[in-house]
Amino acid sequence: MILPHRVADLDEQLRERLADVADWRPTELRRAAVLLPIVAHGAGAADHVLFCVRHQGTHRHAGQIAFPGGMRDGDESPLQTALRETREEVGVAAAHVDVLGELPPHESSTGIFVHCLVARLQPVPLVPEEREVARLLHMPLADLLDDANWQHRAPPHPYRSPPGMPATSPQFEFGDELLWGLTARFVRDLAKHLRGER
C-alpha cells in the first residue's frame, strides 16, 4: 500500500473513509473504547502507530501490546472514554488529539464490546502511566499496512481463543514484539478502510 506523502493527505483520506464518531452501539456486553493514535516519529518524522505495552504479571492482558483505552466510566461516550484513557495512560490531553473517525467495533475475547477511534496525536511529550504501561512502542504505519508483513495464527501460548471466538488472529512481528488479538484486528481494519474496502 502506498501512503500519501503528506500528513494532511493521509488524515483527509481517513476522515473521508472512516465512519463518524458515534455513540455506543446497542449491546448487552460491557463497553470500552480505545484510541488508535497516529504520530509522527523518528528522524524522518514518518507516521507511526503508538502502542502501550502492558506490564508482565498475572493479569489477563499481561505483557500484551494494546492501544490506550479502557472501560467506560459512568455515562461517558466512546469519545470521552478514549480521550480520558489516552490522557491517563500516555499523558496526552484531548486538546492535542485530532480525532479522524471510528472503525467498526468488535467484541473482545473477554466479552467486552470495544469501540476504536482513530486519531492524529500532535507532537507533544508522552508520559506513560507507570502502573498500567510498562513502555510505549512506535510501529511504522507503512509496515503495519503491508499485507506481506502479516500472518494468521493461533494466539501465542498461554492464551487460547474462548468458545465462539475466532481460533486465529492476525499477527505482526516487530523485532521481538508480537502484535496480535483485538488490537491487531483494528489495525487490519484500518488498512481495509485506507484501501477503500468495508
> Environment class of residue 40 by beta-carbon count within 10 Å: exposed (0-12), middle (13-18) or buried (19+)?
middle
What stretches of the chain adopt beta strand conformation (E)? 30-41, 46-54, 65-66, 69-71, 97-107, 112-121, 133-140, 150-153, 169-174, 177-179
Q: What is the pLDDT of residues 67-93, one digit of tens each?
A: 999 999 999 999 999 999 999 999 999
94 found inside a domain: yes
Q: What is the CATH number of the domain that holds 58?
A: 3.90.79.10
153 found inside a domain: no
Q: What is the mean pLDDT of the chain?
A: 89
Supply the pLDDT for residue 58.
43
Share above pLDDT 90 across residues of the chain, in percent, rounded to a whole number: 73
Q: What is the pLDDT of residues 110-156, one digit of tens each?
A: 889 999 999 999 999 999 998 889 999 999 999 999 999 999 988 87
160 found inside a domain: no
d(CA 159, CA 117): 26
Domain span holding position 115 = 7-142
172 found inside a domain: no
What one-letter code names the amino acid at 9? Answer: D
DSSP state of 92: -
Calculate mean pLDDT across residues 169-188. Answer: 94
Identify the band that residue 56 occupies on the pLDDT scale cut at 50, 70 and 90: confident
Identify the band that residue 44 occupies on the pLDDT scale cut at 50, 70 and 90: confident
Counting the structural domains of the chain, the total is 1
Contact 125, 91 (CB under 8 A): yes
Q: Which residue, among 71, 59, 43, has the nearest Cα to 138 in the 3D structure?
A: 43
- Is the pLDDT at 166 greater than 80? The verdict is no
Contact 147, 132 (CB under 8 A): no
